[in-house]
Chain A
């Protein structure tokens, strides 16, 4: 076949373009389905609690990912600044993941428990009140807006359909109890989502105002768990190279 026949026949051109592109795509995607090493076997990773899940929604709504990545790459400089590189397992319950590719601000993959709740609240309300050099915009409305969690059950059901182990039946709940212990399992129970959301917000009072449940409570709860689930002191340096 002469190249010219490809060039002057748009149907054929589309077909061959698709084939050329698919080779790259398929070579990356297909192995994910049968190489079981891509997601590391590691203890501690659990789905988000209802409060954290709402916080994550707000994180996406406000577009935090446009300035912040959540992906520490395996480079020495990133290791020294942010900590252990991110594992695939750590975002296996993320739909969609928040890896990002733009770093106007620092990576947030391990920001959990690095700062106090009070710092996050002050920083999100008015970043320059605590970091004078900051160019991050303020989000003062997070403290004003009551947290709307009416749709939390639906959100968890939707994620359950993608394979996140939120429990609907007693059987699923029991499986979570066996896997994560009763305390965590209670938070993954869709039928008790409202209660456990309120319970978590009251227990720690993330936004510093015990009288209200605000969007700030949810967002700070989410930020404070980022990257905290895996205890890396249990693994040898280089252990995770095995999964590559």
Chain B
């Protein structure tokens, strides 16, 4: 070690604690720096002021409540109470600048119908910015932050294909009450041949080159009581909205990535897989968790994601 002979901070004689270790190791006994001492006195003063202003010391059955007060409205009455974070939150939710400004917009949204909202640039800007946050906190974990969804699990909200309808009213109903997409598994119903036939018929509906004989046999199953597919997917395959059944005649798939499959065999495997296993998908209801205004804003936002009708 270098020979560090620190000078004492105060001039004059070196003050030490008086000990000597190992013969010559000594310890200075400098006074505390003045700034430190003052900082300490300041914290003491701060504590005393805090005790006076805010709830602090336990006393008997209660506590010292401090002299600070908060006023808020509860059940139509004005309540004034000692300062506490819960009362302050109620006050902030009711009377802060941000809350008041937001409430102004929310009241306008609440009383306007969708057409008025779509026609009002100011309200649309509010809907876009507010609903983006609500969507991110609540919907994005399933539907993705851009609404693209996850094949098989959560539908794409940004395209113009809708299971339950793409009008803004349909979307609002979906969000309010949730949806349960259900298709029974046909594993037990069909033998291998029937499954292959109906698969070819389904692929033919969207313009794929399939075996016409097989598709014909499949059609009988699809449109007849053996499969009963027509009940949900309709005889033309476009899907019954009240069942949330997929449109089988277009190039957009929600359960399986048919366009991405390598060849016809892979496509057939995907389609027959869905038919054998069926579908159960749940979209949770948001009534109660989100306010009616928030749901209205979200409906507008989802409608504008790309495919609203």
Point out residues on A near B: beta carbons under 8 Å: 27, 30-31, 34-35, 73-76, 79, 81, 83, 85, 113-119, 122-123, 129-133, 233, 236-244
Quick check: B150 and A241 within 8 Å, CB to CB? no
Give the complex CA separation of A239 and B75 in angstroms.
Answer: 9
- A244 is contacted by which of B86, B93, B137, B144 (Cβ under 8 Å)? B86
Given A116-B284, A244-B86, A238 and B74 touching (CB < 8 A)?
A: yes
Given A133-B145, A236-B75, A241-B72, A27 and B57 touching (CB < 8 A)?
A: yes
In the complex, chain B residues whose CB is within 8 Å of the CB of A73: 85
Quick check: A236 and B154 within 8 Å, CB to CB? no
Q: Write the nearest CB–CB distance from B184 to chain A, whole angstroms.
A: 16
Given A119-B141, A238-B74, A31 and B58 touching (CB < 8 A)?
A: yes
Indicate if B63 sits at the interface (CB-CB under 8 A): yes
Quick check: A119 and B90 within 8 Å, CB to CB? no
Which secondary structure dominates chain B's binding surface? mixed
Nearest opposing residue in chain B for A134, CB measure: B141
Indicate if B7 sits at the interface (CB-CB under 8 A): no
Q: Write the nearest CB–CB distance from A114 to chain B, whole angstroms.
A: 7
Given A76-B89, A119-B142, A238 and B284 touching (CB < 8 A)?
A: no
Point out residues on B near A: beta carbons under 8 Å: 55, 57-58, 61-63, 72-75, 79, 81, 84-90, 92-94, 96, 98-99, 137-138, 140-142, 144-145, 150, 153-154, 281-284, 288-289
Total contacts A-B at CB 8 Å: 95
Quick check: B86 and A35 within 8 Å, CB to CB? no
In the complex, chain A residues whose CB is within 8 Å of the CB of B283: 116
Nearest opposing residue in chain B for A243, CB measure: B86
Quick check: B63 and A31 within 8 Å, CB to CB? yes
Give the complex CA separation of A113 and B55 in angstroms.
Answer: 37
Given A35-B63, A241-B84, A244-B87, A123 and B153 touching (CB < 8 A)?
A: no
The residue in A30, A131, A237, A244 that gathers the most chain B C-beta atoms within 10 A of its C-beta is A244
Quick check: A76 and B93 within 8 Å, CB to CB? yes
Nearest opposing residue in chain B for A78, CB measure: B89
Quick check: A241 and B61 within 8 Å, CB to CB? no
Closest 7 CB pairs of A and B: A238-B74, A238-B90, A244-B84, A241-B86, A241-B87, A31-B58, A74-B89
Q: Write the nearest CB–CB distance from B143 to chain A, whole angstroms.
A: 10
Given A34-B61, A116-B284, A244-B86, A237 and B93 touching (CB < 8 A)?
A: yes
Nearest opposing residue in chain B for A231, CB measure: B288
Give the complex CA separation of A78 and B224 in angstroms.
Answer: 54
Nearest opposing residue in chain B for A233, CB measure: B288
- B150 is contacted by which of A74, A130, A133, A238 (Cβ under 8 Å)? A130
Quick check: B61 and A76 within 8 Å, CB to CB? no
A to B CB contacts below 8 Å, 15 in the list? A31-B63, A35-B61, A73-B85, A74-B89, A76-B96, A76-B98, A79-B89, A116-B142, A130-B142, A130-B150, A133-B145, A237-B74, A238-B86, A244-B55, A244-B84
Nearest opposing residue in chain A for B57, CB measure: A27
Given A35-B63, A76-B93, A133-B145, A238 and B153 touching (CB < 8 A)?
A: no
In the complex, chain A residues whose CB is within 8 Å of the CB of B153: 118-119, 122, 130
Q: Write the nearest CB–CB distance from B31 to chain A, whole angstroms.
A: 12
Quick check: A118 and B89 within 8 Å, CB to CB? no
Nearest opposing residue in chain B for A81, CB measure: B137
Quick check: A85 and B141 within 8 Å, CB to CB? no
Quick check: A27 and B150 within 8 Å, CB to CB? no
In the complex, chain B residues whose CB is within 8 Å of the CB of A75: 85, 89
Q: Write the nearest CB–CB distance from A230 to chain B, whole angstroms.
A: 13
Quick check: B62 and A35 within 8 Å, CB to CB? yes
In the complex, chain A residues whose CB is within 8 Å of the CB of B138: 114
Nearest opposing residue in chain A for B99, CB measure: A76
Q: Write the nearest CB–CB distance from A105 to chain B, whole angstroms.
A: 11
